[in-house]
Chains A and B, each alone.
Chain A
Amino acid sequence: MAFLLALPAVCAAETLQIEGSTTVGPIADAFAEYFMRSNPDLEITVKKTGSGDGAAALMDNRCDIATMSRFMKDKEFKGAVEKGIFPVAHVVAMDGVCIIVHPSNPVKELTTEQIRDIYMGKITNWSQLGGPDMAIVAISRDTSSGTYETFHEKVMNKEDMAGNVEYVNSNPQAHARVKTTMGAIGYVGLGFVDINVRALKIDDIQPTRQTISSGTYPVARPLFMFTNGYPKLGSTVYKFCTFHLSERGQEIIEAKGFVPVTAY
């Protein structure tokens, strides 16, 4: 009997569809968990397939919030406007892309030019950078990930990478490859740096929460949630997109290894 009574309530529950980036996904997941715990009638689904998918879903009105690790491309923006969708960006956190090497590697800092030369195949051995005589194994994220785009833009100046650069399809996998390969260099979000890999100083700046949120660290990017128009004040979408400003929201963002946009 209780089940029967509960059924209409489930049907009437408010639902929130979130789709997009694998990088912003963990933040959205944690926010959703918090929201659903405090409001059992709320049903939030978070899909994490990629920023492009998020943009496409928002364009087709298949989601309420598109999570993206990059800003919308011209074409996506225009496509959305043509369909009567007006994307509004909410920056929820900052993500520093850290250049990581094996912890046994004596090289502690590099310049963006040196990293670019490594990925372009001009520098192929660590001895050219003051390290041991060991071949460099350059590891990149797949060309369609948001992390790749940030790296490609901020470090590579949009130059093509050499043919022998290896590609992996997730942050944990990039981390795993660098952790197990002596000569490897790779890049992951700040949240994925731990004692098993070492994040390099870039242009003399150590990637930390402060340098990333203040924008001095060169390889950092904002993380977005896109909505169709600015959400109605007080609505669930509004609460969700502004949750990162609350103390609890900031704690969650830090716990996930990202950097809150609010300085405090």
Chain B
Amino acid sequence: MGQGSVNDALMPAAESHRPLALTPTEDIRGFLAFHLGRTFLFVITCTSVLAVFLIFLFVIKEAFPFLTEFSIVEFLTSAEWYPESENPRYGVLALLTGSAYVTIVALVFSVPVGVLAAVFLSDIVGLRIRSVVKPIVEILAAIPSVAYGFFAVMVLAPWMQTKLGFSTGTNALNASLVLAVMALPTIISVSEDSLSAVGRELREASYGLGATRFETIFKVLIPAAHSGIIAAVVLGMMRAIGETMVVWMASGNATQIPSPWWDLSQSVRTMTATIAGDMGETEKGSPHYRALFAVGMLLLIMTFCLNLVSEYFLTRAKRAGGKS
């Protein structure tokens, strides 16, 4: 910075009534205002960071006695969850597979639908329809999960029994279908954003080279926006894996690993449903209570890892968007 620019910057100050040289009090006041304001805002920002740390700390603190008393290997490899039995067994494997089942099957339904809907909204349909459809899709995210759960139990479950001939309507498939619908708004919204962020240049270059619309979408746009789409899928996955009320109502909560493994008409139980269902009446400080916190810790670690993955892809998507 040259001398001239400093003078230019000072000119307006000279014109106002503010003197150029500050008195020591004014100097200190300015100094304090600057630093106190900064600290205040820093503290405010820290509250959310602190909340995350405290949640981790609290869950680990409550789960720790369980992890020292019982074998972690048995916790992770046993499928027997009998916490209130005479001979209590705390095996999380069936719950873990239950969570995995409903999450993966939900993604199998919601990813193709969500990504295709995003392509449709970003590239095929006009702005007017998009501006109507997108907010409506986002309303899906605002419907309370208990309303979805009610629908699953009262409508979807009897339908599966009478029309599909399943012996029980509250099963892995039921929970997965409802979770798929719940994950859709996230997947559509984030994928659509990343598809729209792919510049006009790429599209025009593709058409200019003689590609059809189909080729442009599947060979140019989706590959170009893949980071954002992967982030969308991971966010949808987090939505599904962390959802509690719906799976608690719709999955049937039978503590078993379906056999044969592909039989989605069987009931499963997820980690979230177990925590929500059991926490109400367990004695505080009992092994069952601790075991539930250990399940919570496992869940927290899983969503934390998923979050890191989605962050990675979202930043990559942003960088890619910046370059083009």
Point out residues on A near B: beta carbons under 8 Å. Answer: 49-53, 56, 73, 75-76, 134-135, 137, 142-146, 148, 152, 158, 160, 163-169, 173, 176-177, 180-184
Contacts and interface: CB of A to CB of B under 8 A. Distances in A.
B254 to A, nearest CB: 5
| Interface bin, chain B | 35 or more
Contact of B281 (A75, A145, A182): A145
A177 B154 CA distance: 8
A212 to B, nearest CB: 23
Interface string B167-180: 11110000000000
B153 A160 contact: no
B154 A181 contact: no
A142 B170 contact: no
Given A144-B281, A181-B167, A181-B168, 18 more contacts: A52-B280, A52-B283, A73-B283, A142-B278, A144-B84, A144-B279, A144-B282, A158-B86, A163-B94, A163-B255, A164-B267, A167-B254, A167-B269, A167-B277, A173-B249, A180-B157, A180-B169, A182-B161
B83 interface: yes
Contacts of B284: 56
B254 A183 contact: no
Contacts of A143: 83-84, 277-278
A75 B287 CA distance: 13
Interface of B: 79-80, 82-87, 94, 153-154, 157-158, 161, 167-170, 248-249, 252-256, 266-267, 269, 276-284, 286
Nearest to B171: A166
Nearest to A152: B84
A50 B280 contact: yes
Nearest to B167: A135
Contact of B161 (A76, A167, A181): A181
Contacts of B84: 143-144, 148, 152
Contacts of A73: 283
A157 to B, nearest CB: 10
Given A163-B255, A169-B248, A183-B167, A144 B153 contact: no
B280 A144 contact: yes
B267 A166 contact: yes
A40 B54 CA distance: 43
B265 to A, nearest CB: 11
Contacts of B249: 168-169, 173
A164 B255 CA distance: 6
Given A163-B94, A163-B255, A164-B266, A169 B169 contact: no
